[in-house]
Structure formats: structure tokens, C-alpha cells
Amino acid sequence: MSSPAVVSIARRSSPDLLWPLPPTRVLNMSTGPIEVTRNVLEAQNASILTPHIESFWSAHDETIDLLAKVLRTRSKIFLMHGSIRSGIDVALANFIEPGTKVLSIINGYWGELIAQWAERRGALVTRLVHGVLDPIDLQRVEEALRSGPYDLTTLVHVETNSGLVNPVREIGELVARAGGLFFVDTACSAGAIELETDDWKIDIQTTGSHKCLASVPGLAVVSVSDKAWRQRSAIAGKQGYFDFSELWKHSIERVHTPPFTQPTTLVLALRAALREIFQFGMEKWWAVHRQLATRFMDDLRAGGFSMLIDESTVAGRRDCYSDTVIAVRYPPSVSDQSFRKILLEEFGIFVIGNVGEFAGRSFRVGLMGPAQMDAINMTGTVAALQRTAAAAAARQ
């Protein structure tokens, strides 16, 4: 009589067995929303489910204070329900009226999107367009600003379709000298990559909870400098639910009971995520992102992949490569749909496709939160990407 162990082995080696078994879970290696820690998830289970008691507002104010430390700012911070896109749109609505002059510095999908939304709000937009894989030319920026004046200059810190990091610090200095306000989308940087909102002269900054802040989706974050706040007061006709003056009065000053419902559980989750970052240490967290992203890209190259930026004019310039968005070109004869389907169904790993001119030609990996930066997950992802590329090519 065979032992149970022998019988089990015999069954597993049967030619009728489909192998490998379907994944039992999905590892989210996308650029957001990201997988969060159990502590962040469980923070939402607290009993503070109403914004009409002081214990919630204590948690809310602590979250605002932690955000100020992450963003390195003394600016006013607005925390509101919505996506990162909603934060961008609300911020533009509060600083643009018909005829507002905007200089949009563009070298990717999101830079162009912000320019389009500014136009929809009535702005007169001048586009300073660079190639999608080209660094921002500071001389061109300086010349464009001299041709102004502009009320608002817009820029994306990390372009998510290429993984290219733009020189926010240098452009902030140029904008400050020229006058006007500096608007920066920090969706793929704030919390994981060095960001000094005040020192870099950023007047309006937008991000969200579900990327580098390592929390669950649903909160938009906007910071507004004192300079921007003073200039905003001169813009007429700003009314409605997302008017910043009203939001500040109700959610920060709280002279009266706020007449709207706060996203209580989302605030608690974000507070937990920010606490984790500060327990680790802000500068140390930035350094770990840099170290692990470098290792991850080196491992990908060793496995036969290349980053989109590897083929640009700044190839090899590490300061131009994001530590949070790794945009990877597909090997020849590998289709986007086949590749990501195999990776998800056979290996249980999800990466996101690309947008704009790189749609179908590349995919993006996120290294934004703790789960994505776990050594086992990073190593397993590289190995799975290699095997998936071989399988996808064989099926073409």
C-alpha cells in the first residue's frame, strides 16, 4: 500500500494536472492604486465614522500636519475626497478665470492634460513642448518666461508615461524670478522622491493618497502657498462646493460645524500610512527608494529589458530616472495584451500598460509603497517578467 505522501506525489505528476496552478492572489506592481500595508487597511476599521465629533478632527488635523512634513511646506493644505485628477481640476478652477495666462511646460501625457484642462477653464495657454523622452531645456523655459508675463506656470514632477524626472527646483527659481505662480503635479513623487515644496518655490502642488503616500485611493491633496492664496483672493466668482476659501473655513478654521461629510475612513488610512513613513524616516525612505529602484532597473536590463529612458538623450543620467515609475519597453514580437494577460493569469502579477505614444509599446512598474519594494516581490517580479516575455513571444 502506498503511503499518502507517495500517492500525493503521483497525483501531482499526473499528465492530466494543469501546471502551474492558478495564482492564489494578485501582486499589484502597478503605478497606483498600490497595495497597502495591513496596518493601513485596518486603520479604516476604527469607530470614528462621523465627522461631527472632535476625535475625528483630531485625526484629521494630525494628518494635515503629517502631510505638511512630507511635502516640506508651511503652505495651506487641502484634503478632499476625489482622485488625483480631481485635485488637479479643483486647483486649476481656483486659480484660473477667463483670460488667465498660463505657461505649460510639457514633455509627456500629463503635462499636456493639465494644459488642456487649463484651457477648458478659460485660460490662455502657451505650450512649451519638449519630446516625450527629452529633459526640460532650462534656457527655453527662461526665454519663455521672459516673453510673458504669465499668471501660472505648470509642470509635472515625474511624467508617469516615461518615468522621466523633471527639474522642479531649477524651474521654480526661474518662475519665482519672473513672477506668477508655480503649479506642480507631484502625484508620482510626493512621499517617495525628494520634494521640497517651499524651498523649490512651488506655489500650488497636487497629489493623492493612493500612490507614493502609500494609502488607499479616494483622497486628493492640494497645497497652496501664502503667495498663491493672496493672488487667489483677487480672482472673482469663485464659489461652490470646492471653493478653497469655503473649504479652509469649514475644514481647518471650523468656526461652525462643517456642513458636509468628510471621508473619515480614508483620512484614518492616510494618517496610518504617513505615520509609517515617518517611523522609517523621510530622508531614509527617499534613499531606500533610490537604492531599490537602481537595483530593480539593473536586474531588468540583465534580464533583457530596457527602460524607455535608456533610448533617450539622458540615457544613463540617474537623476533623470524616476525611483517610483519604471517605464519598460516591450521586447520585439511581444504584444501588450498578451504579455500582461500571461503575467496576471499565470504569475499573479499586475503591471499597468502605458498611455500616449507609448501605449501598446511599453508597460510600467510601480515602486511606490512597502509591498512593491519587498525583496521577494521585486525579485519575483523580475523573474516573472522574463518568463512572461519568452512565453508571449512564443505565442505570437
124 domain-assigned:
yes
Query: Are 258 and 341 in the same domain?
Result: no
Domain containing 214 equals 38-277
Distance, CA of 23 to CA of 258 (rounded, Å)? 46
CA-CA-CA-CA torsion sign (78, 82, 88, 89): negative
- H helix intervals, the chain: 4-12, 38-43, 54-71, 84-95, 109-120, 138-146, 168-178, 226-232, 244-248, 264-280, 282-302, 336-347, 375-395
Query: Are 66 and 203 in the same domain?
Result: yes
Query: Are 208 and 250 in the same domain?
Result: yes
Please give the mean pLDDT across all residues of the chain. Answer: 91
163 domain-assigned:
yes
Is residue 314 predicted with pLDDT exceeding 50?
yes
Which residue is it, cell 531606500?
Answer: 288
1 domain-assigned:
no
Is residue 183 predicted with pLDDT exceeding 80?
yes
Tell me the mean pLDDT in the region 295-316.
95
Percent of the chain with pLDDT over 90: 80
Query: Are 32 and 81 in the same domain?
Result: no
- Contact between 38 and 158 (Cβ < 8 Å): no
Q: Can you give the C-alpha Rg of the chain in angstroms?
A: 23
Domain closes at, from 247, 277, 307: 277
Query: Are 73 and 187 in the same domain?
Result: yes
- Output the domain CATH number for residue 133: 3.40.640.10
Query: Are 157 and 259 in the same domain?
Result: yes
Query: Are 195 and 205 in the same domain?
Result: yes
pLDDT at 246: 87
Distance, CA of 314 to CA of 132 (rounded, Å)? 12
Query: Are 214 and 317 in the same domain?
Result: no
Question: What is the CB-side half-sphere exposure of residue 283 using CA atoms within 13 A?
Answer: 0
Query: Are 100 and 177 in the same domain?
Result: yes
Number of domains in the chain: 2
**pLDDT band at 349, cuts 50/70/90?**
very high
305 domain-assigned:
yes
Domain closes at, from 232, 251, 277: 277
pLDDT at 5: 40
Query: Are 115 and 212 in the same domain?
Result: yes
pLDDT at 239: 60
**pLDDT band at 4, cuts 50/70/90?**
very low
117 domain-assigned:
yes
Domain closes at, from 277, 305, 333: 277
- 337-374 b/e with 16+ CB inside 10 Å = b? ebbbebbbebbbbebbbbeeebeeebbbbbbbbbbbbe
- Output the domain CATH number for residue 286: 3.90.1150.10
Query: Are 267 and 322 in the same domain?
Result: no
β partners of residue 164: 159, 321
9 domain-assigned:
no
255 domain-assigned:
yes
Query: Are 236 and 385 in the same domain?
Result: no
Distance, CA of 23 to CA of 390 (rounded, Å)? 19
pLDDT at 125: 98
pLDDT at 14: 42
pLDDT digits (tens, 9 = 90+) for 39-55: 999 999 988 677 788 88
